[in-house]
Amino acid sequence: MNFQLVYGKMKMLKLIGIWLVIALLTLSGCKEDEKKAVKTEPITFTKEGELTIFRQQSDSVIVKYNIEIAESDYETQTGLMYRESMELNQGMLFIFPDVVFHSFYMKNTKIPLDLIFIDEELKIASYKENAQPMDETGLSSEVPVQYVLELNAGQRKQYALEVGDRIEYIRMQKVTK
């Protein structure tokens, strides 16, 4: 056998071996890193006001809630999304600049809700009960409204809230430093 031929084949095999080792190391380095869990702080309730609901016929107090107020575009688009829970005496009041038909959905909302649609005279105009978490089906006010109150599911029925009952709300003073 020719020495140069043998030496050339050995050199070629060595290069192929090195190339294979590099390829294997590269492929193993490309393996997806394990996804690291992103830890986020839970979104907590911030009391921004108080809301009272009165019976239409007798004007007696039905129930009082501590409320968060959503009125900026961001707040109204986000609402109660990503919340893990809400206390029974808490709710979120959406305040819109115009009286129009409003439609809500439960995208990224983890808790079932009752939606109370309220007209410009602060009277309950319609409601949707037990909106299911993460459901993207539209829930329409069915009539033009200016406010929407989101409560834990079952509250409408528990307090027998009806069309015509009215609300009053007050905003808390913001403390600035």
Q: What is the CATH number of the domain that holds 65?
A: 2.60.120.1140
Shared-domain flag, residues 67 and 137:
yes
Shared-domain flag, residues 74 and 122:
yes
Taking only the tens place, the pLDDT of each residue in 34-84 is 455 555 778 899 999 999 999 999 999 999 999 999 999 999 999 999 999
CB atoms closer than 10 angstroms to residue 108: 14
Match 């009272």 to its residue by tokens.
52
pLDDT value of residue 165: 98
Shared-domain flag, residues 92 and 153:
yes
pLDDT value of residue 5: 46
Shared-domain flag, residues 56 and 132:
yes
pTM summary value: 0.76
Shared-domain flag, residues 111 and 158:
yes
Contact present, 126 and 82 (Cβ < 8 Å): no
Contacting residues for 32 by C-beta, under 8 A, at least 6 apart: none
Shared-domain flag, residues 118 and 147:
yes
Longest dimension (CA), the chain: 113
Match 């060595």 to its residue by tokens.
14
Shared-domain flag, residues 59 and 2:
no
Match 């070629």 to its residue by tokens.
12
83 found inside a domain? yes
Q: What is the pLDDT along the chain (177 residues), one digit of tens a residue?
A: 554 544 455 555 565 555 555 555 555 554 444 455 555 778 899 999 999 999 999 999 999 999 999 999 999 999 999 999 999 999 999 999 999 999 999 999 999 999 999 999 999 999 999 999 999 999 999 999 999 999 999 999 999 999 999 999 999 987 655
167 found inside a domain? yes
Q: Which domain holds residue 21?
A: 1-32
Distance (Å) of CA 172 to CA 64, 66, 91, 103: 15, 10, 15, 27
pLDDT value of residue 173: 84
Instruction: Please choose, from the candidates 165, 160, 95, 101, the residue with its C-alpha nearest in 3D space to the C-alpha of residue 129.
Output: 160
pLDDT value of residue 174: 72
